[in-house]
Amino acid sequence: MAHILHTPFLTSSTSLRPNPNPNIPQSRSSPNLVRAKIREIFMPALSSTMTEGKIVSWLKSQGDKLSKGQSVVVVESDKADMDVETFYDGYLAAIMVDEGGVAAVGSPIALLAESEDEISLAISKAQSLSSSSSTVTSDSSSPPPASESAQVAVKAPVVAVAVASTHPASEGGKRIVASPYAKKLAKELKVELERVVGSGPLGRIVAKDVEAFAASAPAAAVTPAAVAAAAASPPSGGVDLGSVVPFTTMQNAVSRNMVESLGVPTFRVGYTITTDALDALYKKIKPKGVTMTALLAKATALALAKHPVINSSCRDGNSFTYNSHINIAVAVATDGGLITPVLEDADKVDVYSLSRKWKELVDKARAKQLQPHEYSTGTFTLSNLGMFGVDRFDAILPPGTGAIMAVGASQPTAVATKDGRIGQKNQMQVNVTADHRVIYGADLASFLQTLSQIIEDPKDLTF
C-alpha cells in the first residue's frame, strides 16, 4: 500500500499573521490578502526503523500537474522501494532532492504549488530552503558545489514536447523509470532499457519486462568495442578490488539491527532431526507447487502453537509478550542486503497457500517492493542455508523477537538401528538462538522435540 506524502501548508505572504493593530480592521476584499498555497513534500517514514530515505526516481517532473492519490516519487527505505503518493492536488513546483539524493525522514524533498501562477514563488522558497538546509546529502563520491546543487534543485519547469518515439516510462524523455532489480537485470543481460516497454504503473519497467525482452531479442553481434569492454572489465565478478564502498540504505539498517542484537543475552541449542518422511512428502507434493520453505515454516508454526513462549518477545527489558499470531519470518538474501519476508498466521494457512504466498514475497523482496507489513511483523525467524550444502550454522537474533532457527542441509547419515545394525537416514541439524531473558533451555529442548516429531511424522503438514 503506497504511503502518503505529508505536505503542510506554507504561506507566501504575511496576510495570515495576526493583525498587529486590532483597532484597524482588515478588509476581506483587499488585494493584499491573496494567499499562495505552497506545501512542503516531506520524506515519509516508510517503516518503524527508517531514519532516512533515498530518492530512487521521480515519477513526475517539475511543473507537472498532480492529482490527489497519484504516485509522485519512488523512495528507497531501509527495507524496500516504495511508490509514494501525494495527498493534494496541485503542481510539482520544485524538486529539492534529486534522484540518488538522501534525505532525513521529515525533511522537505519538494514543494507543491496549488496553481501554475505560484510555481515561480515555490522555486524561490525551494532555493531559500536548499541554501539553509544541511540534512540532504548526496550518494556521489564527489558532490557538486553548493551553488550548482541549488541550481539543480530549483530548476525551472521544462515543458516536454510529446513525440511518437518517446518511451512511456521516460517521463518526457528525461529518464527511464525502472525498478532497481530491473536495472540490475538489464545490466546483467546487456539489455538497453530505452528499448523496453514497461508494464508497471505509469509504464514503469519491471524485471519481467526485461526478461521478456531479453528472451525475444536476437543475439547481438560481437563487435571489437564489446570485446575491448569485456577485456577492460574488472576481475572478481565486477568488484573493484581495493575500493571503499559505502553501505546501502538496507545494509545500514542490517548493521544497526545486528549491533542492537548484541545487547540481548542469547544462548543456542542444537538438535538433529531425521527428514526421510519429510523428504518423501516433499517429493510427492512438489509438483503441486509446494516449496520446502513452506513445509518448514508450517512445521515450525505448528510446533510454536504448542510452545507459545518460544513465539514470545521482549522489547523493553522489563516484560514480554505472548504474541497472538504466529508469523514466520524467513531470511532472504537480496542484492545488497538481507530481508525477512513474513508468512503470516502460518499455523492456520494450508501449505499450498503458504507456498504461493512465499513465491510472491520472494519476487517482491528481490524487486524491493515489499510493503512494511510483509517484512516487519515476524514473531519467529527461519534462516535456511541448507540449499547451499551448509550442514550447520548459528544465526543472530533479530531485535524484538524471541528466537531464530538456523536450518542446515539434510544429508545421508550412518545411524545405529534398533536391532544394533548400521543403517542410513537423512538428517538435518537445526540450531536455535533464543533470548535468555524470556526463553530457557528446557523451553527450547521441549520445542525442538515437538518440531522433530512433526517433521518425522509430517501427516499434519498437508491439512
Query: What is the DSSP secondary-structure string of 308-353?
Result: GGGG-B-SSSS--B--SS--EEE-EEETTEEE--EETTTTTS-HHH
Inter-residue contact 86 to 110 (CB < 8 Å):
no
Angle at 217 between CA 81 and CA 232, to 5 degrees: 75
Inter-residue contact 51 to 21 (CB < 8 Å):
no
Question: CB count, 10 Å around CB of 267?
Answer: 13
Tell me the backbone φ, ψ of residue 238, rounded to 5 degrees: 85, 5
Q: Single out the residue of 430, 113, 67, 156 nearest to residue 273, CA to CA.
A: 430
Instruction: Return the amino acid letter for 375.
Output: Y
Given 3, 6, 373, 436, the catalytic residue: 436
Tell me the backbone φ, ψ of residue 313, rounded to 5 degrees: -150, 150
Q: Which three cell numbers stand for residue 248?
A: 546501502
Inter-residue contact 463 to 285 (CB < 8 Å):
no
Measured in residues, the chain has a length of: 463
Residues 6+ apart with CB under 8 A from 257: 49, 398, 399
Q: Give the whole-angstrom CA distance, residue 253 versus residue 355.
A: 28
**How are strands ordered across the β-sheet holding 37-42?**
9-11, 37-42, 108-113, 90-95, 65-66
Assess whether 436 carries a catalytic annotation.
yes
Q: Give the whole-angstrom CA distance, residue 85 versus residue 82.
A: 10
Q: 47 to each of 52, 78, 250, 379, how far by Cα in Å?
A: 10, 8, 12, 17
- Residues serving a catalytic function are 436
